Structure 1
Amino acid sequence: MNAPSPSDTSARGAHARAADSKLLGIYLNDHLAGATAGVLRAGHLARASSGTALGRDVGPVAREIAQDRAALLGIMRDLGVPVRRYKVCAGWAGERLGRLKSNGRLIRRSPLSTVLELEALRMAVEGKAAGWQTLRRLGAVDRRLDAAQLDTLLERARRQQRTLEDWRIREAEAVFGATRKQASGE
């Protein structure tokens, strides 16, 4: 059997790089769709809880989530990954449709809405952190990725996770603790 010629090997390498680039583009656009939904959801929660202790903590997180989305767009630009508008629209539509879920009340905002929104944001930030970790590892071989920037984004995501988790626990205890007390007649 003959060994592959250098031109065969370089053609396969170019094909693999193109496939890797295509997959990275899909991956980053999927994260962009999630980031779009996250910005909308965080902004909605910050507005709904404005003037409360929750609002004071979630407002800065919402602003950071918007900054993180802008950072992702910058990374995509640096990598030459085009934005797929249909995915951005899907993220927007998915977030809007998510607001239609039943929360036990028809007109007023339910306390359950806050718990569910905090859970959704917590999971979204966890996904974002996983994306930053993946890019950080890719940065070892792709010098277009700024390791310091990714470290900063990852640390910020971890801080956002802690804030959201603290509030999720508080709100869940307030909602379900009150329900338990009412059911037992306390």
Structure 2
Amino acid sequence: MGNESPGQRAEDLPERELLQIYLQDHLSGATGLLQRLTMMRDHDDDLPVAAEIAQLEQEVREDRQTLVDVIRTLGLRPSPAKLLLARAGEMAGRLKLNGRVRRRSPLTPLLELEVVQAGISGKSGLWRSLAVHAGALGLDAEEFRALEERALRQLDDVVAAHRRLTRGAFG
């Protein structure tokens, strides 16, 4: 990992540093996920799932802010380099061949929802992990359990939206 010195293994890092790496990585993922959803909202407002995308974007924005607050509460700091890489990676992910030269392919929102699904799945794991360790960190486990439930609901919503888009994607 980027924070290790030569010859130092991850298991030798202090637990606090491991927690910081873990939270920074999730913040980077949340940043990329939010960018993807914002782009989808801006470009896919004619889709039958546009309202769901807009709602999900708002909730992911709130979840990302919660994570920033947790990082600050724990006296940790976000990694500007990881956030920059997340933004660059999300933008690079937009550059894909889609079988169309001048307009978006009907496959694009389908693939984008699959990326969103993976991000939300990871987020549910974050909240679950924080719930397990909340007591030791001086945090509220119930808050993280509620956030995990919300992520699981979001995941169900994305899967349902994906199903609706799949019906028209190949026609």
TM-score, normalised relative to structure 1? 0.82
Instruction: State whether structure 2 residue 152 is matched by structure 1 residue 158.
Output: yes
Matches within 5 A, 1:91-170: 91-143=86-138, 145-170=139-164
Contact 1:36-1:92 within 8 A present in 2 as well: yes
Sequence identity of aligned pairs in percent?
Answer: 34
In structure 2, C-alpha distance between the alignment counterparts of 1:85 and 1:100, rounded to whole Å: 23
Deviations 1:135-170 (A, max 9, x none): 111113222x22232122111111110111111122
Conserved 8 A contact 1:47-1:55? no
Encode CA deviations 1:29-70: one digit per residue, 9 max, x unaligned. 000110000000011112222254311111010111111110
1:26 deviates by: 0.4
Q: Indicate how the Cα distance of structure 1 residues 53 and 171 shifts in structure 2: closer, same or farther if over 3 A, else same.
A: closer
Partners in 2 of 1:169 and 1:26 — Cα distance? 35
1:19 Cα deviation after fit: 0.3
State the partner residue of 2:5: none
Q: Which runs of 4+ in 1 moved over 4 A?
A: none
Q: Could you report, residue by residue, the CA deviation over 1:160-186 in whole angstroms, capped at 9, with x for unpaired residues?
A: 10111111122123213x1xxxxxxxx
Which of the pair has more CA radius of gyration? 1
Q: TM-score by structure 2 length?
A: 0.89
Q: Which residue of 2 aligns with 1:181?
A: none
Cα distance between partner residues in 2 of 1:84 and 1:78: 16
Greater share of residues in helix: 1
Instruction: Verify the 8 A CA contact 1:38 1:124 in the aligned structure 2.
Output: yes
Residues in 2 aligned to 1:66 and 1:154: alpha-carbon distance in whole angstroms? 15
Q: Where in structure 2 are there 5+ consecutive unaligned residues?
A: 1-10
Aligned residues: 161
Aligned residue for 2:45, secondary structure, equals: coil
Q: C-alpha root-mean-square deviation of aligned residues, in Å?
A: 1.7
**Map of 1:54 onto structure 2:** 49
1:174 matches 2:141:
no
Looking at structure 2, the residues matched to 45 and 65 of structure 1 have their Cα atoms a distance apart, in angstroms, of 13
- 3-state secondary structure, aligned to 1:107: coil
